Structure formats: C-alpha cells, structure tokens
Chains A and B, each alone.
Chain A
C-alpha cells in the first residue's frame, strides 16, 4: 500500500533564503508525482508534474526532482518570498491511477 510522507510538517525560514521540501513514497511503481500548494481555506494549485520517466521539472523559482529508486522527491524554492507562504503537498499517482497525497509541509516565510 502506497504511503506518502512529507517532512517536516512545518517550516519557517527568513525571506530570501533557498529551501528544500521533502517527499518520500514507499512504492516506486508510480506513474507520476505532482507538487501542489494550498493557501488557507482554498483549493490546490498545481506547481509541477514529474512523469515517472523524468528526473526533474522547473518552473520559475521552483525545481522539483524525482528519484524513483529511492522513493524520494524534493521541491526546491529559490529566493523565497512572503508570498510563498502556504502548505505544499506532494501527490503520487500509482499505476492503478489512484492518487495518494502526503499531509503537506506548512511553509512560513518570515519578512
């Protein structure tokens, strides 16, 4: 049974710093992995989607990597800004097309 873990559960960093969020999964037979952000009381916004055959994806200040063999993904945020404060969720799509989410990392960027 696929399990997705995100550590730490919460993180506070000063504005301008680079940071890394971690996601691990127990079954490497995934179809893809997706990173989302969720603002309080809102829905999810897709940030990056990495197919199982890919190693990384980049969008602006965000870079996500995928290492299927070790069951890990990281989301790198460069030059953090207060507007980056949100909960970041990692989700894997299994081969049976079911999506399993981690419980997220609450990120707070200190001005």
Chain B
C-alpha cells in the first residue's frame, strides 16, 4: 500500500506570490490534516479535512486555505507569501477523523525569498 505522497518536495517562491501544495493520502483514508513545521514554533496544526469538508482549523491567518476532493486528495494554498511562511509543510492522513493514528508524508519544504 502506498504511503502519503506530497508534491512537490521542494519549492522556492518570492514574497507576494501564492503557492499550492498537494497531498495524496493512503488509499482508503478519508481524513487529511496539514501542519506547518518551523525551527522556532515547532509543529503547528493548520487544518483537517474529512469527506471534502474542513472539520477543524488551527490559528493561522486566512491566507492559508485548503480543500479536499472526492478522492480524498487534498491541496493547501498559501496566498500573498511572507518570509515567515518558509517552513516544512506536512500532510497526514488517517482512516477517519477523531483520534485515529495519523500517517505522515515526507513534507514539502517551502522557501520564501
């Protein structure tokens, strides 16, 4: 069974641009969560999608948005990029929402110049 796949692995953007990251969950998993990891703040929860609906949301500005498609694949979009958005963005999938083991992808490393 294939694991969680995140594309692209690396991305370089400039301030003010927007970016879209993609996550393909493990087959059969319906929940996808997104996290931002930085050296200063550690891992922070962005949002969770389940059955194409945003089920939960962390404390990030509206520039961070996401969606989930009917095949459970998810995308995350960041608009008007800032230098502080440079981070490793991790996606995790689980069978269902609420308390199930999460399986993480390798992440997308975003650098904003």
Contacts and interface: CB of A to CB of B under 8 A. Distances in A.
Interface of A: 31-32, 34, 36, 41-46, 49, 51, 89, 91, 93, 96-104
Task: Determine the main DSSP class of B at the interface with A.
Answer: strand
Chain A at the B interface: mostly helix, strand, loop or mixed? strand
A44 B56 contact: no
Contacts of B104: 36, 43-46
28 contacts: A31-B99, A32-B99, A34-B101, A34-B102, A36-B104, A42-B107, A43-B4, A43-B90, A43-B104, A43-B106, A45-B104, A46-B101, A46-B104, A49-B101, A51-B99, A89-B43, A93-B99, A97-B99, A98-B56, A98-B58, A99-B33, A99-B45, A100-B45, A101-B42, A101-B44, A101-B45, A102-B42, A104-B42
A89 B103 CA distance: 14
A109 to B, nearest CB: 23
A43 B107 contact: yes
Interface residues of B, number: 25
